[in-house]
Amino acid sequence: MYAFDYHRPASLRQANNLVAKNGDAKILAGGQTLLPTMKMRLASPSALIDLGALKELSGIEHKGRNLVIGAMTTHAEVAGSALVRELVPGLAGLAGGIGDPHVRHKGTIGGSVANNDPAADYPAGLLALGATIVTSKRKLAAADFFTGLFSTALDEGEIITRIIIPVGAKFAYAKFRNPASRYAMVGVAVAKRGAKVAVAVTGAGADGVFRWAEAEAALAKRFNAKALEGVANPAPKGLNGDIHASAEYRSHLIGVMTKRAVTAASGK
């Protein structure tokens, strides 16, 4: 990897100042995507601003009707949290299925969200759950935050501080993973809150994570995997095809994973 300057701020205020002063800098969270990308010289930031010392960005709290997860909370912490397991068990399961145990000890929810890899798990989960992404500047609904392949609504120098997830939905995430990378070939998150159903798909969309409206309409009428039997899968046009799976296969997998997620969310 190319040389860079390294900063390890002790407070969010310091971090914001450093970000403002270093235009080409990248923010380092768990580093499980950024460091491999830099090693392959696909990224060469002039500086890294490591948020690793900011304890204020870590931790999981139950506040009112929300679960509030600090941006620097690792996947292992979310997967193992008694609070998450009790309030949104499907999210603990999602976090526990990312990468492998060593990656989960380092990788963070904020890093995953900021990177918005089209095959990452969190974007689908947070979109379906109607989460809010809180930054150093503002609050953004997940629906407005994820804007395309590896792209988000984040401005230059904006730092994600925490994620707010409303509790009380029936929620599950089902993933058909690539056996080598453990990224989602297709992952589907389903959330039912009152009469409203959200279905979010990752790993498949040519523009990244997306909502599947037809499935949502069918499931709002009857929240059961059988309700999807007459619903056509999303058309392969607009889906990814690569050496791992064709667009047609991904289309098929979306249907299968959605049914599995619905069944899991129903607790059956």
Partner 1 sequence: MPKVSMSVNGKQVSGNVEARTLLVDFLRNELRMTGTHVGCDTSQCGACVVHVNGKAIKSCTTLAVACDGANVTTIEGLANGQDLHPMQAAFRQHHGLQCGFCTPGMIMAAVDMVNRLGFDLSEETIRHELEGNICRCTGYHNIVKAIKAGAAAMGGLKVAAE
Of 179 and 194, which has the nearer Cβ to partner 1?
Answer: 179
Of 35 and 206, which has the nearer Cβ to partner 1?
Answer: 35
Of 115, 165, 169, the residue nearest 142 (C-alpha) = 165
Residue 218 CB, nearest approach to partner 1 (Å): 34
Q: Work out the number of other CB atoms within 10 angstroms of the CB of residue 46.
A: 13
Of 40 and 195, which has the nearer Cβ to partner 1?
Answer: 40
Measured in Å, how far apart are the chain's first and last C-alpha atoms?
Answer: 49
DSSP string spanning 54-81?
A: -GGG--EEEETTEEEEETT-BHHHHHH-
Q: Which helix (H) or strand (E) holds 15?
A: helix 12-21
Residue 165 CB, nearest approach to partner 1 (Å): 24
Residue 3 CB, nearest approach to partner 1 (Å): 6
Residue 104 CB, nearest approach to partner 1 (Å): 9
Of 40 and 82, which has the nearer Cβ to partner 1?
Answer: 40
Instruction: Decide: 6 and 50 in contact? Cβ < 8 Å.
Output: yes
Of 103, 115, 57, 24, the residue nearest 7 (C-alpha) = 24
Binding site for partner 1 (CB under 8 A): 1-6, 8, 28, 31-32, 35-36, 38-40, 48, 50, 52, 76, 99-103, 105-106, 180, 182
Residue 2 CB, nearest approach to partner 1 (Å): 7
Residue 5 CB, nearest approach to partner 1 (Å): 7
Cα 180 off chain centre by: 19
Of 179 and 267, which has the nearer Cβ to partner 1?
Answer: 179
Of 74 and 240, which has the nearer Cβ to partner 1?
Answer: 74
User: Which residues pair with residue 199 across a beta bridge?
Assistant: 190
| Token pair recorded at residue 246 | 């064709």
Of 82 and 195, which has the nearer Cβ to partner 1?
Answer: 82
For residue 183, give the DSSP letter.
Answer: -
Residue 202 CB, nearest approach to partner 1 (Å): 19
DSSP string spanning 76-116?
A: HHHHH-HHHHHH-HHHHHHHHTSS-HHHHTT-BHHHHHHHT
